[in-house]
């Protein structure tokens, strides 16, 4: 089983200069290339729940199993599914 992040660049519809990165994580037996196909359905569902945002770009990445620490110590905590 692989964990993937769909990394989206999103902007507020009423303020296109207010942009940020949003990640959706899911698991699949597929490959990174298959994520490119499957991601479209996850993005559509996310957009339906977040109509105030516009998805400008997106890409697939293998999910980070230990995200970088907030305090810069080099010790990360286990990733949680979002």
Domain assignment of residue 45, given as a range: 2-62
pLDDT tens track for 10-38: 999 999 999 999 999 999 999 999 999 99
Average pLDDT over residues 30-55: 96
CA distance 14 to 67: 31
At residue 64, the pLDDT reads 79
- 52 part of a folded domain: yes
- 37 part of a folded domain: yes
Query: Which residue is associated with the tokens 């907030």?
Result: 70
Which helix H or strand E contains 57, and what residues bound it? strand 53-62
At residue 3, the pLDDT reads 94
- 80 part of a folded domain: no
Structure tokens at 12: 């507020």
Our count of domains for the chain comes to: 1
- 21 part of a folded domain: yes
């Amino acid at each position: 089983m692989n964990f993937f992040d769909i990394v989206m660049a999103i902007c507020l519809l009423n303020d296109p200069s207010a942009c940020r990165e949003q990640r959706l994580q899911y698991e699949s037996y597929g490959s990174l290339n298959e994520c490119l196909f499957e991601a479209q359905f996850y993005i559509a569902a996310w957009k339906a729940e977040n109509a105030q945002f516009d998805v400008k770009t997106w890409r697939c990445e293998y999910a980070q199993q230990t995200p970088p620490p907030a305090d810069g110590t080099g010790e990360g905590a286990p990733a949680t599914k979002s």
